[in-house]
Structure 1
Amino acid sequence: MAFDMQARQSLVVYTYSLKQTRQLKRYGTVMYVSKKMRYVVLYVNQEDVASLTDQLGKLRFVKRVVASARPDISETFNGVAEEMTSNPDPEAEDDDE
């Protein structure tokens, strides 16, 4: 029996009230609930993000749904230090004048 890793992505669900937070458990895994700012971080399968965003947006107690941009961001930092040293900051040149 092989373990296959499922691609997951987080959705931030902003709500009007946190009373219905338990209802969000049927859509994915609730990882964090902010009581002060009234949002819920929900982890779902990556292939279901588009459909779940539409479904969650139609719920009465949901203000908006924001998908995480983490899958789109490159996490490799090879050569970043060389780019920073070879390309000096253009704003630093203005300070010399």
Structure 2
Amino acid sequence: MFSERIGYIIWVSDLKAARSLDKYGTVHYMSRKMHYVVMYMNADRADEVVRNIQRLPFVKRIERSYRNEIKTEYTRGVPDKTRFYSL
């Protein structure tokens, strides 16, 4: 139903020009202070789109976001000590 999405962090030199990145994917966040853009795009066209974005004159560096690969299901490895301290 939904296609696989990949996130990228794009470091830019000009935020006004970075608004044009919207045509390459979904811009999720733009940092005015640190000059980066977080955007998501379809995984099947990601390599082609990244090559096109890298050619833009205001783009300094592109990093892939590993947020979807981080484990978000947590297990308790340490026993719960709160029950020993209850009244």
Tell me, yes or no, whether TM beats 0.5: yes
Question: Which of 38, 46, 49 lines up with 1:41 in the alignment?
Answer: 38
User: How far does residue 56 in structure 1 lie from its aligned partner after superposition?
Assistant: 1.0
3-state SS of 1:36 partner: coil
3-state SS of 1:25 partner: helix
Greater Rg over alpha carbons, structure: 1
Counterpart Cα distance in 2 of 1:71 and 1:48? 18
1:69 — aligned with what?
66
Gaps of 5+ in 1: 86-97
3-state SS of 1:19 partner: helix
Percent identical residues: 33
Question: Which of 16, 20, 27 lines up with 1:30 in the alignment?
Answer: 27
User: How far does residue 77 in structure 1 lie from its aligned partner after superposition?
Assistant: 4.2
Aligned residues: 79
Q: Which has the higher helix share?
A: 1
TM-score, normalised by the number of residues in structure 1: 0.69
Q: Superposition pairs for residues 78-93 of structure 1, below 5 Å?
A: 81=77
Letter in 2 for 1:46: A
2:84 — aligned with what?
none
